[in-house]
Structure formats: C-alpha cells, structure tokens
Amino acid sequence: MTPLSACLFDLDGVIVDTAKYHFIAWRQIARELGFVFTEKDNERLKGVSRTRSLEILLEIGGLALPAAEKVDLAAKKNALYLSYVRQMTPAEILPGADAFLMACRAAGYKTALATASRNAAVIIDLLKIAALFDVVVDGNKVTHTKPDPEVFLNCAKELGLAPDACVVFEDAEAGIEAAGAAGMLAVGIGDPGILNKADLVVPGLSELSLEQLRTAWNNKKNNTVAKP
Ligand code: BG6
Ligand code: MG
C-alpha cells in the first residue's frame, strides 16, 4: 500500500476564512450590475480562478459583457477583496488549521499550499504561515483552474512525490473533483451535502485527527469503504 507522504491544503476556506471576503466582494459587484448573488450561487465560485468566477457570476446574472469591461470588473472585485483581506491578522486562521498543519509536519508528512488564488503571497505574509509549508503552488503558477488537477499535480511534482501519496484538504466542490482527478485522497472541509464526492468530510480541521485521516487513507487504499 502506498504510504501517506504529503498533505496538500487549499487556502481560502480551509486555512483562513477568506471565502467570506470573496463572497461579499462578488456580491457587491453583482449588486452594482443589478442582480442578486446568493451564498448558494457562491458555492460555484469556490476554488475557481478570478476570471472563471466572473464568467460564472455573469452567467448567473444573465449578462454578456465586452472583454474590456470584464477586465475592469475583475480588477474592481480584487480591489474590494484586498481591502478586506489587508485587515486580516493571524487571529483569522481557521480554528485548528495551524495546529493540524504542525501535527502533520511533526508526523513527518510534507505539507503544501495548493490554491487558485493569485493573492496567496499577501495572505501567507499577513497570517505569518510561510514556515508551515514545504511548497506553495498558487494561481500564478498554474494554467488550468480546479476542477483541473494541475495545482495538486504540481505540488506532488515539486515535493518529488507520486500523486497517490498525497491527501488534499478542500472546501470547494471543484477542489474535491480536482483531487479525485489527481488520484489523491480528498478530505472535504465543510458541508457533506455539498462535498459529497469527498472521501471524508469534516466541518473544520479542528475536528480532524491524524488517526481519522490514517483510517480514511487505509480504507481508500484497501478499498474497504464506499464513498458516502
Ligand atoms: C480560490 C477561491 O482559492 O481562489 C476562489 O476559492 C477565488 O473563490 C480564487 O476566485 C482566486 O482568488 P484570487 O485571490 O486570485 O482572486
Ligand atoms: Mg477554498
């Protein structure tokens, strides 16, 4: 059986609750464009790039806009988003995330940050979490957005590991799909109703032990438990 060697973490919604800032920034853009954007709609934007998020948003609003206007809107959303993000302190690290990362590292697992965000460097800096990761692959380093597995495959490559030696922690449907496509164990962080393609779902990293993780790993590798 392939041993578990690396833990790959999504950033927004897994390590830090920036998901709420992405949502309120896009909601503001939708409001200015004249339509309502709900939290349910927002699930479709989680994990996907800024450009793709805007396309989905416009689809929800039933709007088709010229390319130049889309560039301006994406920039406007990012400025709004950054105005919230810049206020963040390490206190906004999600409960248990830093402790779980430290436990993974103490157990000898490599750790990586795997995110579609192009703002990852700013966030890592504000939260002072750089030392918790062996590798960072962000939206500036990938061409294909989740559900494409590129971001996770690049992490495995940078760590010098086979994809099937890695586990992914994700709060987005697109991210769970990407982990599956990469051939990695997928741990969903959030609602099991939404993340129903994950191998295991927990409400947050504070509610996950390494023992539970190893059990899920062994079950998947031995093919003993059907997915929920
Ligand atoms: C992902 C978020 O982590 O990053 C998405 O889940 C977001 O909602 C994407 O669109 C890109 O983020 P950024 O910071 O580059 O706009
Ligand atoms: Mg996320």
All domains in the chain, ordered by first residue: 6-16+90-221 (3.40.50.1000), 19-85 (1.10.150.240)
**Locate tokens 């927002």: which residue?**
42
Which residues face 166 on adjacent strands? 6
Which of 103, 97, 94, 104 shows the shortest CA–CA distance to 167? 104
3 burial level (CB within 10 Å; 0-12, 13-18, 19+)? exposed
Name the DSSP letter for residue 4: P
The residues near 113 (Cβ < 8 Å, ≥ 6 apart) are: 8, 9, 11, 15, 120, 124, 133, 135, 136, 137, 138
Is 12 a known active-site residue? Answer: yes
Tokens of 147: 């559900």
Which of 81, 28, 93, 47 shows the shortest CA–CA distance to 194? 47
C-alpha 1 to ligand 2 mean position (Å): 29
pLDDT at 224: 66
Helix axes 67-85, 50-61, angle to 10 degrees: 110
The residues near 131 (Cβ < 8 Å, ≥ 6 apart) are: none
Residue 47 CA, closest ligand 1 atom number? 6
Q: How many CB atoms lie within 10 A of CB 133?
A: 21
50 lines ligand 1 (CB under 6 A): yes
Distance CA 138, CA 33 (A): 29
pLDDT at 70: 98
Contact 94, 16 (CB under 8 A): yes
pLDDT at 86: 95
Which of 183, 212, 216 shows the shortest CA–CA distance to 96? 212
Q: Low-confidence residues of the chain, pLDDT below 70? A: 224-228
178 lines ligand 1 (CB under 6 A): no
Question: What angle is formed at CA 9 by the lines to CA 40 and CA 106, rounded to 5 degrees?
Answer: 145
pLDDT at 1: 87
Contact 104, 7 (CB under 8 A): yes
For residue 119, the SS3 value is coil
C-alpha 117 to ligand 1 mean position (Å): 4
pLDDT at 225: 54
